[in-house]
Amino acid sequence: MDDSLAVRLRRARAERGLSLSELARQSGIGKGTVSELENGLRGARLDTLFALSTALEVPLGTLIPDRAGETPAAVSGAAVSAIPLGTWAGDAGTIEAYRATISPQRQRSSAHHAGVEETLTVIRGRVRAGVEGDERDLGPGESIRYPGDLPHTFAAVDDDAEVILLMHYPHP
């Protein structure tokens, strides 16, 4: 079975009953780009995947291909490269876990859909993270929890840092 981004994106869009044009409008991603993604003609950066998953009101992992038995592929943004560790669904919603490397360049993440919460724990290095305008500096072993449905940022303070990021998506 084809489990590519193209197939996952088309399926999610069909399940939401959105046209290609409407998904492009709601996500802020160009219609041509969405079409190329759905046809497997290009890959997507992390910020593009977040914009699409937010517009579709699905967890980010819904769009990331499952590579059973293989090392998961990293998804990257301006300053973050993340490897999916797993997804768990329960009574309170869906939780996705990622191991990420953050560079000193600032990564801005737009608001995800309503009710999403994120928890970031630093493994190595120092990170400035949180809701935009209310970021905190964190060191190894320290964590921050913040609403993912508000714009938020990540940046390593000096050198690259490693973190675990948990994303909690409540049931719709």
Inter-residue contact 51 to 28 (CB < 8 Å): yes
Q: Tens digits of per-residue pLDDT, 50-83?
A: 888 888 988 877 887 766 556 667 777 788 889 8
- The pLDDT of residue 116 is 94
Q: Tens digits of per-residue pLDDT, 132-144?
A: 999 999 999 999 9
Domains annotated on the chain, with CATH:
5-62 (1.10.260.40), 75-169 (2.60.120.10)
Q: Tens digits of per-residue pLDDT, 86-97?
A: 889 999 899 999
Lowest mean pLDDT among 48-52, 151-155, 163-167: 48-52
Q: How far is CA 24 from CA 20, 48, 59, 159, 169, in A?
A: 6, 11, 18, 36, 22
| pTM of the entire predicted model | 0.72
Q: Which of 150, 86, 143, 142 is nearest to 117 (CA)?
A: 150
- The pLDDT of residue 40 is 84
